[in-house]
Chain A
Amino acid sequence: QSALTQPASVSGSPGQSITISCTGTSSDVGGYNYVSWYQQHPGKAPKLMIYEVSNRPSGVPDRFSGSKSGNTASLTISGLQAEDEADYYCSSYTSSSLYVFGTGTKVTVL
C-alpha cells in the first residue's frame, strides 16, 4: 500500500488560515470516512486532532477542522497560532482492513 500524499510544507502568518491536503485513492480516503489527522511536535508522540474526517476529540480547539472531497481529505487551521507549528499527518482506513499514513506536512508559522 502506498502512503497518502501530503504537501511537504505549508506556512502562514499568525491569524491566517491554512489548509493541508491528503490525497489517496478510492480504496482508502475516497472509500471510507475513517480519515484522521495528527499533530506532532519535535520529540513528542503524535496527537489525534481530527477523526472520522471531521470530528474533533475533546480538548482540541475548534480552529482545527477537517473535510473530504472524493479521494482528498483536508485539514484547515483557522486563526493560526505559534503553537500550531508542528508536523501534521493524515491516516486512513483501507479496503484491506489496514491503515495507511500520509507523507507528513511541516507547518511553519511565519
Chain B
Amino acid sequence: QVQLQESGPGLVKPSQTLSLTCTVSGGSISSGDYYWSWIRQPPGKGLEWIGYIYYSGSTYYNPSLKSRVTISVDTSKNQFSLKLSSVTAADTAVYYCASCSGGSCFDYWGQGTLVTVSS
C-alpha cells in the first residue's frame, strides 16, 4: 500500500517561496501507475487542487496558481516536490500530497502539513 509523507518548513515569510516535499513509500514513484498531486486546505475552508505530475515530468496546474507553482519529481529519492512563489497570508493552509491511479483519485493521502505565511 502506498504511503505518503509531507515535509518542509511550517512557517514562511510573505513574498518568499514555499517549498514542500512528499516522500512516497510502498511503491515506486516511477512505476507509471500513479499521478502525484498537491492539494491544500486553508483553515476552516474547503479543498483546493494545486496540480499534479507524472513520473515522466509532465505537469498540470490549477490555472489560478499556475504562475506561481512548480511541481517536480525526484525518482532517485522516490519524492516529489512543490514550490509556490511570492506567498501571501492567503497561502496559509494545510498542504497535502496525494496519489491518483487512473480514475481512482485521490486514493492515498499524506497526513498533511500546516504552512503558515507570516512575518
Which A residues are closer than 8 A to B by beta carbons?
1, 3, 33-34, 36, 38, 45-48, 51-52, 55, 57, 89, 91, 93, 96-104
| Bound-state Cα–Cα, A100 to B100, Å | 13
Task: Write 22 A-B pairs (CB below 8 A) sorted by A numbering.
Answer: A1-B62, A33-B103, A34-B105, A38-B47, A45-B109, A45-B112, A46-B47, A46-B96, A91-B105, A93-B105, A97-B60, A98-B61, A98-B62, A99-B52, A99-B105, A100-B49, A101-B46, A101-B47, A101-B49, A102-B46, A104-B46, A104-B47
For B107, list chain A residues within 8 Å (CB).
48, 51, 57
Q: Total contacts A to B, CB within 8 angstroms?
A: 67
User: In the bound complex, how far is the Cα of B105 from the Cα of A89, in angstroms?
Assistant: 12
Count chain B residues whose beta carbon lies closer than 8 angstroms to a beta carbon of A. Answer: 23
Residues of B within 8 A of A52 (CB): 103-104
Q: A1-B63, A98-B60 are in contact. Are A36 and B49 (CB under 8 A)?
A: no
- Nearest first, the 6 closest Cβ-Cβ pairs linking A and B are A52-B103, A45-B109, A104-B46, A101-B47, A99-B49, A51-B104
Where the two chains meet, the residues of B that have a C-beta atom closer than 8 Å to any C-beta of A are 37, 39, 46-49, 52, 60-64, 96, 100, 103-107, 109-112
Contact B105 A51 (CB under 8 A): yes
Enumerate chain A residues within 8 angstroms of B63, measured Cβ to Cβ: 1, 96, 98
Partner of B106 from the list A3, A36, A98, A102 (CB cut-off 8 Å) is A36
- Chain B: minimal CB distance from A19 (Å): 19
Q: Which of B48, B62, B64, B109 contacts A46 (CB 8 A)?
A: B109
Contact in complex: A89, B46 (CB < 8 Å): yes
